[in-house]
């Protein structure tokens, strides 16, 4: 803007009007000039020395005043003109400035608008891209889920097929459980060496739910990187629930007429007793744990058997339990009572019947009505079980424990299927059907209404068809290196018996696998006792227990080798127990 803007003195509207104001100013200037012409003459007259005739002094003063007014007006008019000119120029420059400003503003607003539009378009594009991305991610997620579901289904199918194959071949199922590292893994392990604390290093891992990976590289030793496949592998974090979920279907088979045996195998301290019974508290009964989720296979299987029975017609099944311990190659009946009726482990023998089956004469079979009765009996017998602290495990079981549930089924026409296939099988089998009721039934102590209540009824009932199936739950004593367990004296003798019986078990499996004509069941009381389950017609599950620590590497490799060999054993199709089919002559 021009300097001096706005003009300070001309504030009337007329003076601000550039056109009107300018005309008026010009007019004023002309009249002032005209007046100055007249004034000039008067001034001429008043000028001393040039005076033509003398004029009166008052008139002279008035003329001078007039003259002065004219001069001032003229100056004023000239000033107005100048100001008008200046104002005009200022206005012009203001206009051009405003014009420039508006043009600039327009240009800039257009630029900004363009930028905003571009940005909006960009955002829209980004939004679209994001939406496309989200849709793609959603699609991918869905397809991943579908693939996972399909994979799971395929895996289930494959597992079912594998199970059928296992059954057809009569394979032994092997599940492997790797327990977590535990505080006692860090303690010194050699009795002869200085008791240094050795720190845990995990060498056995569950690579997936069917593979164990043993990886170890120690200076001075050949490094190991080996995998082992089993029907199922449980990692350290897998719960008792998960383990039992895979065992439960076998119990359905039990009521469908199959013998079942579940056996825990592994080194001392690897978790066999934990898996089979649950955590063992020194001062308590084993099943008194508050936390039911900690219960092992034996209490859970017992509960499941009774649950399954409760779904069947009442009185069509009854259950007997026996508890046997194999200690130093001797068999003890842990439910046998002495003359005072106190529970007392009594030595028994195992024999082979004429049918080639193993049997323990005089073994106590207690008839039980529910799971808690079973667990009560098992708890009492466990107090008789021999334990001995070793350096590996303070509560090491020094004996093999065999809990057997015998389920007798009375044919009411609803139990066991009677399909063509089953009838065909039943004609070939069923020679071992027992027609005797347990003593408790004979005594008619039972409150069950469907049980016989009169001798005539009893006789009639006895003629009914029955079939016995057996669930054997085995907690083996731990295999162990003598050096590592640090035992001496009687305990060393125990260890030697334990190792011999486990070797006998491995030999039996080897003989069956090689289909040798002679299987050395009688080399040990353990194998003789388990003969029907290991070599016979039972569905057999070996629960391999592994300590993951590096210091148990040799034992773990031995156990994994045992499991691998056990899997390869083919015993022929597992047989189902069926009711005798009435002969046509009858």
The contact set with Mg ion (CB under 5 A) reads 272-273, 397
CB of 397 to Mg ion, least distance (A): 4
Most distant CA pair in the chain, distance: 190
The CA distance from 498 to 483, in Å, is 15
Rg (CA), the chain: 55
CB of 488 to ligand ADP, least distance (A): 19
Which residue's CB is nearer to ligand ADP, number 90 or number 185? 185
Which residue's CB is nearer to ligand ADP, number 258 or number 274? 274
The CA distance from 194 to 544, in Å, is 31
Which of these ranges, 15-23, 177-185, 371-379, 491-499, lies near ligand ADP under the rule CB under 6 A? 177-185
Which residue's CB is nearer to ligand ADP, number 259 or number 485? 485
Q: Is the Cα dihedral 9, 11, 14, 20 positive or negative? A: positive
CB of 325 to Mg ion, least distance (A): 12
The CA distance from 506 to 435, in Å, is 35
User: 564: buried, middle or exposed (CB in 10 Å: 19+, 13-18, 0-12)?
Assistant: middle
Binding partner selected for residue 316 from ligand ADP, Mg ion, none, CB under the kind-specific 5 to 8 Å limit: none
CB of 234 to ligand ADP, least distance (A): 8
Which residue's CB is nearer to Mg ion, number 324 or number 368? 324
Q: How many residues bind ligand ADP, per CB under 6 A? A: 19
Q: Does 232 bind ligand ADP (CB under 6 A)?
A: no
Binding partner selected for residue 182 from ligand ADP, Mg ion, none, CB under the kind-specific 5 to 8 Å limit: ligand ADP
CB of 338 to ligand ADP, least distance (A): 29
Which residue's CB is nearer to ligand ADP, number 173 or number 179? 179
Which of these ranges, 269-277, 334-342, 343-351, 453-461, lies near ligand ADP under the rule CB under 6 A? 269-277
Q: Does 179 bind ligand ADP (CB under 6 A)?
A: yes
The 8-class DSSP code of residue 184 comes to G
Q: Does 257 bind ligand ADP (CB under 6 A)?
A: no
CB of 251 to ligand ADP, least distance (A): 21
Q: How far is CA 90 from the centre of its chain?
A: 84
How are strands ordered across the β-sheet holding 204-208?
Answer: 204-208, 211-216, 224-229
The CA distance from 230 to 263, in Å, is 15
Q: Does 272 bind ligand ADP (CB under 6 A)?
A: yes
CB atoms within 10 A of CB 353: 11
Site string for ligand ADP, 5-24 (x = CB under 6 A): --------------------
The CA distance from 204 to 236, in Å, is 10
Q: Is the Cα dihedral 60, 62, 67, 72 positive or negative? A: positive
CB of 224 to ligand ADP, least distance (A): 22
> Contact at 8 Å (CB) between 508 and 520?
yes
Site string for ligand ADP, 133-152 (x = CB under 6 A): --------------------
CB of 555 to Mg ion, least distance (A): 14
Nearest to Mg ion by Cβ — which residue? Answer: 273
Exposure string for 200-234, b = 16+ CB within 10 A, e = fewer: bebbbbbeebbebbbebeeeeeeeeeeebebbbbb
Which of these ranges, 266-274, 411-419, 447-455, 562-570, lies near ligand ADP under the rule CB under 6 A? 266-274
Q: Does 271 bind ligand ADP (CB under 6 A)?
A: yes
Two tokens, residue 508:
């039996």
CB of 403 to ligand ADP, least distance (A): 14
Which of these ranges, 35-43, 264-272, 360-368, 491-499, lies near ligand ADP under the rule CB under 6 A? 264-272
Q: Does 478 bind ligand ADP (CB under 6 A)?
A: yes
- Binding ligand ADP (rule: CB under 6 A), the pick from 265, 274, 318, 552 is 274
The CA distance from 513 to 171, in Å, is 10
Q: Is the Cα dihedral 325, 331, 336, 337 positive or negative? A: negative
Which residue's CB is nearer to ligand ADP, number 282 or number 414? 282
Which residue's CB is nearer to ligand ADP, number 128 or number 241? 241
> Contact at 8 Å (CB) between 487 and 388?
yes
> Contact at 8 Å (CB) between 294 and 279?
yes
Alpha-carbon distances of 146 from 41, 140, 150, 208, rounded to whole Å:
120, 10, 6, 21
Q: Does 387 bind ligand ADP (CB under 6 A)?
A: no
Binding partner selected for residue 279 from Mg ion, ligand ADP, none, CB under the kind-specific 5 to 8 Å limit: ligand ADP
The CA distance from 295 to 321, in Å, is 19
Which residue's CB is nearer to ligand ADP, number 491 or number 581? 491
The CA distance from 496 to 479, in Å, is 10
Binding partner selected for residue 266 from Mg ion, ligand ADP, none, CB under the kind-specific 5 to 8 Å limit: ligand ADP
Which residue's CB is nearer to Mg ion, number 170 or number 478? 478
Site for ligand ADP in 515-554 (CB under 6 A): 545
Q: What are phi and psi of 244, to 5 degrees?
A: -70, -35
Q: Does 266 bind ligand ADP (CB under 6 A)?
A: yes
The CA distance from 543 to 139, in Å, is 41
Q: What are phi and psi of 227, to 5 degrees?
A: -115, 150
CB of 556 to Mg ion, least distance (A): 16
What residues make contact with ligand ADP under the rule CB under 6 A?
A: 179-180, 182, 266, 268-274, 279-280, 393, 395-397, 478, 545
């Amino acid at each position: 803007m021009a300097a001096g803007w706005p003009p300070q003195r001309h504030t009337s509207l007329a003076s601000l009007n550039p056109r009107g104001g300018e005309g008026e100013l010009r007019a004023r200037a002309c009249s002032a000039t005209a007046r100055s012409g007249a004034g000039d003459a008067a001034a001429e007259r008043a000028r001393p020395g040039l005076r033509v005739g003398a004029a009166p002094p008052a008139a002279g003063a008035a003329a001078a005043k007039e003259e002065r007014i004219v001069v001032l007006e003229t100056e004023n008019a000239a000033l107005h003109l100048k100001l008008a000119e200046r104002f005009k120029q200022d206005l012009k420059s203001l206009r051009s400035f405003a014009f420039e400003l508006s043009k600039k503003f327009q240009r800039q607003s257009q630029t900004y608008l363009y930028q905003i539009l571009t940005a909006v378009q960009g955002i829209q594009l980004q939004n679209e891209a994001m939406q496309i991305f989200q849709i793609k991610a959603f699609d991918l997620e869905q397809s991943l889920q579908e693939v996972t579901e399909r994979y799971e289904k395929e895996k289930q199918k494959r597992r079912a097929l594998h199970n059928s194959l296992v059954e057809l071949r009569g394979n032994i199922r092997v599940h492997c459980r790797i327990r977590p590292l535990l505080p006692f893994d860090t303690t010194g392990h050699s009795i002869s060496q200085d008791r240094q604390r050795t720190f845990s290093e995990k060498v056995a891992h569950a690579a997936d739910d069917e593979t164990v990976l043993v990886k170890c590289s120690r200076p001075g030793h050949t490094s190991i990187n080996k995998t082992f496949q089993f029907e199922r592998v449980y990692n350290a974090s897998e719960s008792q629930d998960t383990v039992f979920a895979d065992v439960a279907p076998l119990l359905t088979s039990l009521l469908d007429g199959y013998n079942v045996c579940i056996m825990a195998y592994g080194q001392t301290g690897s978790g066999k007793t934990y898996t089979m019974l649950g955590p063992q508290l020194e001062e308590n009964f084993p099943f008194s744990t508050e936390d039911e989720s900690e219960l092992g296979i034996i209490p859970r299987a017992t509960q499941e058997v009774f649950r399954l029975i409760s779904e069947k017609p009442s009185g069509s099944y009854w259950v007997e339990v026996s508890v046997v311990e194999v200690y130093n190659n001797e068999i003890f009946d842990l439910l046998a009572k002495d003359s005072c009726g106190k529970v007392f482990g009594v030595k028994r023998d195992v024999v082979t019947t004429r049918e080639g089956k193993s049997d323990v004469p005089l073994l106590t079979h207690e008839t039980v009505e529910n799971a808690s009765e079973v667990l009560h009996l098992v708890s009492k017998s466990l107090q008789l079980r021999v334990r001995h602290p070793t350096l590996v495990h303070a509560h090491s079981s020094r004996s093999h424990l065999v809990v057997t549930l015998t389920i007798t089924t009375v044919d009411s026409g609803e139990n066991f299927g009677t399909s063509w296939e089953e009838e065909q099988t039943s004609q070939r089998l069923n020679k071992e059907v027992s027609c005797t009721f347990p003593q408790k039934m004979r005594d008619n102590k039972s409150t069950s209404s469907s049980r016989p209540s009169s001798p005539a009824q009893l006789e009639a009932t006895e003629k009914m068809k029955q079939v016995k199936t057996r669930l054997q739950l085995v907690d083996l004593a731990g295999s162990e290196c003598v050096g590592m367990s640090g035992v001496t004296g009687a305990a060393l003798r125990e260890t030697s018996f334990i190792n011999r019986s486990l070797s006998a078990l491995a030999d039996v499996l080897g003989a069956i696998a090689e289909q040798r004509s002679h299987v050395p069941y009688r080399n040990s009381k353990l194998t003789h006792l388990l003969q029907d389950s290991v070599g016979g017609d039972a569905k057999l599950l070996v629960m391999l227990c592994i300590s993951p620590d590096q210091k148990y590497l040799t034992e773990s490799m031995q156990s994994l080798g045992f499991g691998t060999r056990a899997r390869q054993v083919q015993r022929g199709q597992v047989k189902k127990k069926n009711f005798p089919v009435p002969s046509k002559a009858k």
